Structure 1
Amino acid sequence: MAIKLILLVLFFGSMIFIGIYARKHATNVSDFVLGGRGVGAWLTAFAYGTSYFSAVVFVGYAGQFGYKYGIASTFIGLGNAFLGSLLAWVVLGKRTRLMTRRLKSATMPDFFEKRFDSKALKIAASAIIFIFLVPYTASIYNGLSRLFEMAFHVPYWVCVAGMALLTCIYVVVGGYMATAINDFVQGIIMLVGIVAVIVAVLNGQGGFTAAIESLSAIQSETAPNMQGAFTSFFGPDPVGLFFVIILTSLGTWGLPQMIHKFYAIKNEKAIRTGTVISTIFAVIVSGGCYFLGGFSRLFGGEAIMENGKVVYDAIIPHMLSTLPDLLIGIVIILVLSASMSTLSSLVLTSSSTLTLDFLGGTVLKKMTERGQLLLMRIFVVFFVALSVILAIDPPAFIAQLMGISWGALAGSFLAPFLYGLYWKGVTKASVWVNFIVGIGITVFNLFVPVFSSPIVAGAVAMIAGLVVVPVVSLVTPKLSSKTIAHVFDDPPHNPDPAEL
């Protein structure tokens, strides 16, 4: 217990110190939201990776999909690395930075307003972000709480409140720069921790070969005639695996808290470097998480059952419960790091969107920069408090909404944002239609289950958007030539040296 407490105190102390150190980088709106658009490759790459992979991935998804698909779940982590990180940086990174800088856009809703010349689109996008990010924020506490209860035997609400308070302090004080620096530190902990945990867990099963042999002997409920289903290349359910890869990998292309990282990066050189760093980080962390989860079936029994059903969130904590105290302490810090980095990114995105886009575009149009900065800090506290309330005693509809938040956000934003960066022919109407389709598919499936799960519905919503936007754009009125010239800078301007 002493080892675990010492690690916690050191971790908490370093987070607060970084928040205080970064306060000089949060004196105006641009600094608070974007770090002055001068954040380097390493900080941005780690901020992207740590925002991507939270306790939901390490505890929830790794246990759930590892239990369902076995070793083949490692493909989810590789998909996250090469589709969700590498390709996202290559396709979106440079273009997002240059266009948002030219349009003086600080948030995704602000981008939609200036790209498509529509204040209504900005307000609608900010409302979508508020509705679907809040339950997603609340969801990241659950996996953390199970690990804390296993390691410290403390109540769930204490874990939630402590993590929320600490995150709130350093985000309010230091803004985006404090988040980015903390993400870097937390990312290093995640890299070291996941490698150490994989080695320890496999050694506990007699080594990699022995663990594979044990796993190959387990029969799959969904593919009873398939021998060694959980050690096969694509697992017992390749179609289900495919949809998980699409949702968790392609989804990052349309999530505002992920795209936001490209707004803040320093220059093109930093993007090239960050692409490599981000991909390697994702291979190790996400690939490692899902690889570890692939051995979930070896840690079954009553400990992961409740009312005759498997509790997926209990699998990874049960798997780790037999580790030495030092490793359990490292795991706690690892999951804390993953959770706090994602939480800080989500509340910063939510508060800036609500302040600058929703209220700033409606009832508080004449707000000063100092007022905006103060209001964003207040909303950071508000969103953290709201997420704590929802996490401690979640209503049934919120619990359902958490399952579709990723799909609804990415289904709404991915296609219009991607096409909007490159294609002059995207119309305002196509964006509206895609918002309706993205939310419609995921929410409708919640009440009338057309698709087998929210994951499949979310993946379908994203793929549908990639078809809907170009088709609707071909048959609806185009934007004015003046707007297009402004957005795509025709004729080209003399580039700012900072853009090179």
Structure 2
Amino acid sequence: MKGIFLTLFVGFLLFIGLFCMRRTKTLNDFFLGGRSIGPWLSAFAYGTTYFSAVIFIGYAGKVGWGFGLSTLWIVVGNTLVGSLLAWLVLAKRTRQMTVRLNTLTMPQFLEARYQAPGFKVFAAGVIFIFMIPYSASVFMGLSYLFERVFDIPYTVAAIAMAVLTAMYLITGGYRAVALTDVVQGTVMVFGVFTLLYYVLGAPQVGGIGQVVSKLQAIDPQFVAPAGPPGWLPIASLVLLTSLGTWGLPQMVQKFYAIKDEASIRPATIVSTLFALVITTGAYFTGSLSRLFFDEMPVDALTGQPNPDLLIPQIMITTLPEWAITLILLLVLSASMSTLASLVLVSSSAVTIDFIQGLNPKLSDGRKVGLMRFFCLVFIALSVILTLAKPTIILSLMAISWGTVAGTFLAPYVIGLYWSKATAKGAWISSLTGLTISIVFSFYVKLEAGLLPTIGVLAMLIPLLVLPLVSMVTEPLSDSHLKKVFGKSFPTKTRVAKNKKVEQV
């Protein structure tokens, strides 16, 4: 049964890729679907990019094991801040401003917004380098799951997933990703409800009414508001995984591509509900892991405790075969969309933001060909890192997420609303976030428990640096700001000698 469903799913992805290939003629088509993606496609694309194998396999299990029920604060943050507020605050302004500036990517937008030569190349380098460990973390999560559920060797699973991602993404581009996301998102929703049904019904849990008492019997801290580690670690995880999405190029891309402003409201609602369902399923299951294990499962290859095995082991011991197959498709669905978005954004950093800048006369066909080539390069580099297994999934995700969000959050978000933000303010704030994340991550020797806090500092400190620097540096011209902000740019007035108000 598992093999049949998996074959049908893979066949569907490849069919969609080939179907969309004939409509993918220009760079705009390949990267943004021609800016014609409707509300449902946009909402599911946002949600399935947000949540991947990392959350179901590594992240939710490890956090739930350490924090207990206080893990559910992440559900609140991801739903209200990472989804609802992200759409309300960013979507409309982002689409309007990127259309006015004729930009397709985050690096293009930042260079055009701040008239900052070199910013595009700098931003493209950050994206390409630090998206690789994020992508590798997704491949790792998938490979662990296939190894446990299908007995497919880790290496074989990683390479197979890479080939599948390359085949359906390179043929159809973003339009193929968006179309498959609706089906993938639907699978994820049904999978989450199935997972919760069997986990709550397992003898180790005994129903939702027994959760609090059983966790409390193990350790009262597991039902406390902040869990055993305390408020700072859980607050850091909430901020990193919620506010951090505001600065991630693969998330922001969904606002660029949406069809029109009327589509934003329904997309906001669907995306928020989707986040609530998916995060509840993942993190609530993770918070119950102490009920299933007295000690953390040990990796058979390394002989070391591995939190990435918690949820796969729960699935194997709790769910029937058909439900395991559905959950496998859930994780595969979430991961394929995330991988596709990461690969698209990273390859665009080289093609659109670097090569096109050096040779603006490239034809559309040549640009699309280069995008496809660098998609392959990015996937290959991610798989190499995946096979090396440098650290656990949580560390890989925290490093890349914190670094990229720390580099882009301040200049992007403040730049959407504050006309007095300057080029030097944007540069210094980005370099501040990048430096904090890299230097302190290596200073603590990539200690997984400290990486989320470092990522949060890398995001928040630049939000203070940018306005402070902007106040004492040269402002951008009014003519440029009028182009950037359009009608929302505040027009200066003066009183003429004839006492009539003239607009300058």
Structure-1 residue corresponding to 2:244:
251
SS in 2 for 1:305: coil
Give, in angstroms, the shift of residue 79 of structure 1.
0.7
Matched, 1:329 2:330: no
Q: 1:285 aligns with which of 278, 284, 290?
A: 278
Structure-1 residue corresponding to 2:134:
136
5 Å-filtered alignment, 1:196-207, equals: 196-204=194-202, 205-207=205-207
Structure-2 residue corresponding to 1:433:
428
AA aligned opposite 1:365: P
Does structure 1 retain, via aligned residues, the 8 Å contact 2:166–2:375?
Answer: yes
Write the deviation string for residues 421-464 of structure 1: whole angstroms up to 9, x where unpaired. 11110100011111211111111112222996110000111111
Give TM-score scaled by structure 2 length. 0.92
Q: 2:227 aligns with which of 235, 254, 259?
A: 235
Does structure 1 retain, via aligned residues, the 8 Å contact 2:308–2:392?
Answer: no
CA distance in 2 between counterparts of 1:235 and 1:350 reads 37
SS in 2 for 1:26: coil
SS in 2 for 1:165: helix
CA distance in 2 between counterparts of 1:67 and 1:396 reads 18
Matched, 1:420 2:415: yes
Q: 1:454 aligns with which of 451, 455, 470?
A: 451
Does structure 2 retain, via aligned residues, the 8 Å contact 1:109–1:126?
Answer: yes
CA distance in 1 between counterparts of 2:149 and 2:396 reads 30
Give, in angstroms, the shift of residue 211 of structure 1.
3.5
Show structure 1 runs of 5+ residues with no match: 220-227, 493-500
Structure-2 residue corresponding to 1:210:
210
Change beyond 3 A, Cα 1:417–1:201: same
Give, in angstroms, the shift of residue 144 of structure 1.
1.5
Show structure 2 runs of 5+ residues with no match: 490-504
Give, in angstroms, the shift of residue 100 of structure 1.
0.4
Give, in angstroms, the shift of residue 481 of structure 1.
2.2
CA distance in 2 between counterparts of 1:82 and 1:426 reads 27
Structure-1 residue corresponding to 2:470:
473
Change beyond 3 A, Cα 1:397–1:55: closer
AA aligned opposite 2:85: L
Write the deviation string for residues 99-120 of structure 1: whole angstroms up to 9, x where unpaired. 1011111000000111111230
Give, in angstroms, the shift of residue 178 of structure 1.
0.1
SS in 2 for 1:367: coil
CA distance in 2 between counterparts of 1:213 and 1:148 reads 34
CA distance in 1 between counterparts of 2:451 and 2:378 reads 25
Give, in angstroms, the shift of residue 397 of structure 1.
12
Matched, 1:407 2:402: yes
Q: 1:311 aligns with which of 306, 309, 321?
A: 306
Matched, 1:114 2:147: no
Does structure 2 retain, via aligned residues, the 8 Å contact 1:75–1:287?
Answer: no
Structure-1 residue corresponding to 2:361:
366
CA distance in 1 between counterparts of 2:153 and 2:43 reads 34
CA distance in 2 between counterparts of 1:449 and 1:294 reads 27
Structure-1 residue corresponding to 2:10:
12
AA aligned opposite 2:280: G
Write the deviation string for residues 133-160 of structure 1: whole angstroms up to 9, x where unpaired. 1111111111212221121111111111
Does structure 2 retain, via aligned residues, the 8 Å contact 1:7–1:329?
Answer: yes
Give, in angstroms, the shift of residue 488 of structure 1.
1.7
Does structure 2 retain, via aligned residues, the 8 Å contact 1:40–1:270?
Answer: yes
5 Å-filtered alignment, 1:261-272, equals: 261-272=254-265
SS in 1 for 2:439: helix
SS in 2 for 1:234: coil
Change beyond 3 A, Cα 1:372–1:391: same
Question: Which is further off, 445-454 or 256-265?
Answer: 445-454
Does structure 2 retain, via aligned residues, the 8 Å contact 1:76–1:287?
Answer: no
Does structure 2 retain, via aligned residues, the 8 Å contact 1:441–1:457?
Answer: yes
Give, in angstroms, the shift of residue 170 of structure 1.
1.2
AA aligned opposite 1:297: R
Identity rate of aligned residues, in percent?
Answer: 46
AA aligned opposite 1:446: S
CA distance in 2 between counterparts of 1:432 and 1:77 reads 33
5 Å-filtered alignment, 1:368-407, equals: 368-394=363-389, 402-407=397-402
Q: Number of residue pairs matched?
A: 481
Give TM-score scaled by structure 1 length. 0.92
AA aligned opposite 2:471: L
SS in 1 for 2:420: coil
SS in 2 for 1:478: coil
CA distance in 2 between counterparts of 1:477 and 1:50 reads 41
CA distance in 2 between counterparts of 1:399 and 1:342 reads 16
AA aligned opposite 1:290: Y
Write the deviation string for residues 310-363 of structure 1: whole angstroms up to 9, x where unpaired. 42101111111112111111111111111111000000111112101012223x
Change beyond 3 A, Cα 1:84–1:438: same
AA aligned opposite 1:27: K
RMSD: 2.0
Structure-2 residue corresponding to 1:29:
27
Give, in angstroms, the shift of residue 308 of structure 1.
8.4
Does structure 2 retain, via aligned residues, the 8 Å contact 1:411–1:465?
Answer: yes
Does structure 1 retain, via aligned residues, the 8 Å contact 2:58–2:394?
Answer: no
Structure-2 residue corresponding to 1:82:
80
Does structure 2 retain, via aligned residues, the 8 Å contact 1:77–1:288?
Answer: no
SS in 1 for 2:191: helix
Does structure 2 retain, via aligned residues, the 8 Å contact 1:20–1:170?
Answer: yes
Question: Which is further off, 16-25 or 194-203?
Answer: 16-25
Write the deviation string for residues 254-311 of structure 1: whole angstroms up to 9, x where unpaired. 0000000000001111101100000000000012211111101112245613588642
Structure-1 residue corresponding to 2:55:
57
Give, in angstroms, the shift of residue 192 of structure 1.
0.5
CA distance in 2 between counterparts of 1:437 and 1:264 reads 30
Give, in angstroms, the shift of residue 230 of structure 1.
1.1
SS in 2 for 1:365: coil
Change beyond 3 A, Cα 1:40–1:154: same
Give, in angstroms, the shift of residue 229 of structure 1.
1.5
Give, in angstroms, the shift of residue 25 of structure 1.
2.7
Runs of 4+ in 1 over 4 A off after TM superposition: 306-309, 394-402
Question: Which is further off, 127-136 or 256-265?
Answer: 127-136
CA distance in 1 between counterparts of 2:473 and 2:372 reads 41
